[in-house]
Structure formats: structure tokens, C-alpha cells
């Protein structure tokens, strides 16, 4: 994950790229007070993947899977720290609570309602496609940190090549999936034509990929930011065996947070209960 911010708005309101979440909060509150029509960013109350990435960065480890043994800790201490932080910003109206990835939200980004978008490695190319009018005004930066001087990042979702149980030739399919992502030509096509951030190190480290610039980002070498970010991702994070269900429940709970009927902390507790009972009903042995 990383930040995509509007340099023109930052310049106009004398904002610095926040290095810590504390700085981010201060700037967000000040910005909205200076201009009530403007928000530092949007907290998308429908986007479980986005929120999970932030939990990941804070050190939360919601799931541990071991066959049919499942540990669920979506409301652990790190998660609660993130929840309290964003609740403060929501209460101060320093961030918007609109759902993302719809026309309204694209317009908001393009027209400068939000000063930045907390995004991921696939974000830069995506943004350039939906915010054409603000081309040239965007820049990329690393995520703010919880502790000054730290270097921790996280992933927002991801893509996989999966072989299903119904496959007639599972061995060959697996070999193909491995080849698809390892072969340098294939990896280059996945990166250039499918806008998938490369997993092949030789491609990541190639000067062609690193030095790529675009006018949308004012000539900045955006890939370098996300290459740096990808090195900072802690690989100890695990997904649940039913992430679709988790995301839908997150939308339900975060939606209530957006309406102000519950707090983010309460939402995490509700999520914990719902996920545990769902996992049990699906036959998992649940701890936590």
C-alpha cells in the first residue's frame, strides 16, 4: 500500500507528506477546518480489503489457519488501535465516509474533494484511468507509520493464480501457473498489460520498471515508491478460508459506523462474534 496525494492541494494548504499517522491526523483535522468542502481522504465504509490492509500494517493478525483449526482475532489490540484512530478522524469529520469504486467516488477524486487516496501498488494505473481531469497533479508516497522512523507496509488484497480441485490436470495446471508468474516475458505482460504489480524480483529490479515515469504523476518514478513499499510488507499475515464472507460482514459493520450508530471498536467486536459463529457453523474448530 501507499499514498497517492494531490500535490496542488498539498501546496495550496501548506501540507507536508505525513510521515506518521499522528501527523496525518493533525493535517486532516486542520484541512477540513480550513475548507469544509475538502477532506484529507475518504474512509470507504464498504471496503473490507482496504481496512484489512491498514490492520495488517498496524500488526494485527486476524486469522491463523491450520487445516480445520482456525484462530480468529479480528479485534486484537493492534486492530483496536487502528479503530480508535480512525474513529477520532470520523468524529472530527476530518475524513469522508463514502463508499468507494463508484462514479461518485471517481468524481470526488478527480475534482479534488479528497486530498489523497490511501491506495496500493495497482492504484497508480487505475487512478490515471478514472481521474483524467486531474492529470499531472498526483504524486505517490509511502504510508505514514505508527512509530516515527518505522518502515512497515501492508498489502491491499492481491491476486493469485489458483488451480481448483475440479481441474482434470492439476499437476500440469500448477506447473503452468508457476510458469505464468516466473517466465520473464509473461511477467512483463502481466505487469504492463494487466497492471498487476510484478512479483518477479528480476522484473521489479529492472531499470525499465523502476525508472518508468508518467505525466499523470508529474514525471515522478512512481514504481520506486511501491517497490520500496513491497519490501516493507510483513509476510506473517494470513487470510481466512472465507474472506468473501468476512468482507461482506465488514461492509455491514463499517456501514453502521458510517451512519454513527456504532463505533469502529464495537464494529470489530461484532465482527469477531459473527465470524466465530460462522466459522463454527462451517465446521471449523475455532479458537480466539
Query: Angle at CA 196, nearest 5°, toward 194 and 202?
Result: 115
Residue 51 near another protein by CB under 8 A: no
Count of residues that interact with another protein, criterion CB under 8 A: 30
Q: Determine whether 39 is exposed, middle or buried from the number of CB atoms within 10 Å of its CB (0-12, 13-18, 19+).
A: buried
User: Whose Cβ is closer to another protein: residue 46's or residue 223's?
Assistant: 46
What interhelical angle do 48-57 and 243-259 show, nearest 10? 90
Among 99, 112, 136, 157, binds another protein (CB under 8 A): 99
Residue 190 near another protein by CB under 8 A: no
First to last CA, the chain: 28
Q: In what helix (H) or strand (E) does residue 106 lie, and over which residues does it extend? A: helix 103-110
Among 16, 36, 103, 166, binds another protein (CB under 8 A): 103
What per-residue string of b and e applies to 170-209 under the rule 16 or more CB within 10 Å gives b?
eeeeeeeeeeebeeeeebbebbeeeebbbebeebbebeeb
Judged by CB under 8 A, the chain residues 68 through 87 that form the site for another protein are: 68
Q: CB-hemisphere CA count at 13 Å for 262?
A: 16
Residue 126 near another protein by CB under 8 A: no
Quote the least distance from Cβ 242 to another protein, whole Å: 7
Residue 112 near another protein by CB under 8 A: no
Q: What are phi and psi of 116, to 5 degrees?
A: -155, 165
Judged by CB under 8 A, the chain residues 212 through 241 that form the site for another protein are: 241
Query: Angle at CA 118, nearest 5°, toward 225 and 88?
Result: 135
Residue 66 near another protein by CB under 8 A: no
Residue 36 near another protein by CB under 8 A: no
Among 248, 273, 277, 287, binds another protein (CB under 8 A): 248
Q: Is 93 helix (H, G, I), strand (E, B) or coil?
A: coil
Residue 244 near another protein by CB under 8 A: yes
Residue 179 near another protein by CB under 8 A: no
Name the residues that contact another protein, by CB under 8 A: 45-46, 68, 98-99, 101-104, 107-108, 111, 113, 241-242, 244-245, 248, 251-252, 254-256, 258-259, 278, 281-284
Amino acid at each position: 500500500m501507499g499514498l497517492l496525494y494531490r500535490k496542488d492541494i498539498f501546496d495550496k494548504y501548506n501540507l507536508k507528506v505525513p510521515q506518521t499517522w499522528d501527523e496525518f491526523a493533525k493535517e486532516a483535522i486542520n484541512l477540513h477546518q480550513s475548507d469544509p468542502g475538502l477532506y484529507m481522504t475518504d474512509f470507504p465504509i464498504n471496503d473490507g480489503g482496504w481496512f484489512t490492509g491498514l490492520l495488517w500494517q498496524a500488526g494485527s493478525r486476524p486469522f491463523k489457519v491450520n487445516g480445520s483449526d482456525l484462530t480468529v482475532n479480528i479485534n486484537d489490540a493492534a486492530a483496536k488501535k487502528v479503530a480508535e484512530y480512525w474513529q477520532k478522524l470520523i468524529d472530527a469529520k476530518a475524513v469522508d465516509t463514502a463508499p468507494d469504486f463508484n462514479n461518485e467516488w471517481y468524481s470526488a477524486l478527480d475534482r479534488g474533494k479528497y486530498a489523497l487516496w490511501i491506495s496500493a501498488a495497482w492504484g497508480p494505473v487505475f487512478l490515471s484511468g478514472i481521474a483524467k481531469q486531474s492529470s499531472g497533479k498526483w504524486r505517490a508516497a509511502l504510508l505514514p507509520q505508527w512509530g516515527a522512523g518505522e518502515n512497515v507496509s501492508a498489502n491491499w488484497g492481491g491476486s493469485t493464480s489458483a488451480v481448483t480441485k475440479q481441474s482434470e490436470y492439476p499437476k500440469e495446471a500448477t506447473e503452468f501457473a508457476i510458469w505464468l508468474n516466473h517466465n520473464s516475458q509473461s511477467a512483463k505482460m502481466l505487469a504492463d498489460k494487466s497492471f498487476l504489480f510484478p512479483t518477479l524480483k528480476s522484473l521489479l529490479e529492472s531499470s525499465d520498471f523502476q525508472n518508468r515515469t508518467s505525466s499523470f504523476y508529474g514525471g515522478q518514478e512512481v514504481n520506486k515508491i511501491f517497490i520500496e513499499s513491497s519490501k516493507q510488507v510483513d509476510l506473517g499475515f494470513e487470510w481466512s478460508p472465507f474472506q468473501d464472507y468476512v468482507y461482506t460482514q465488514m461492509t455491514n459493520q463499517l456501514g453502521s459506523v458510517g451512519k454513527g450508530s456504532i463505533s469502529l471498536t464495537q464494529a470489530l467486536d461484532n465482527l469477531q462474534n459473527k465470524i466465530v459463529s460462522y466459522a463454527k457453523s462451517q465446521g471449523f474448530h475455532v479458537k480466539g
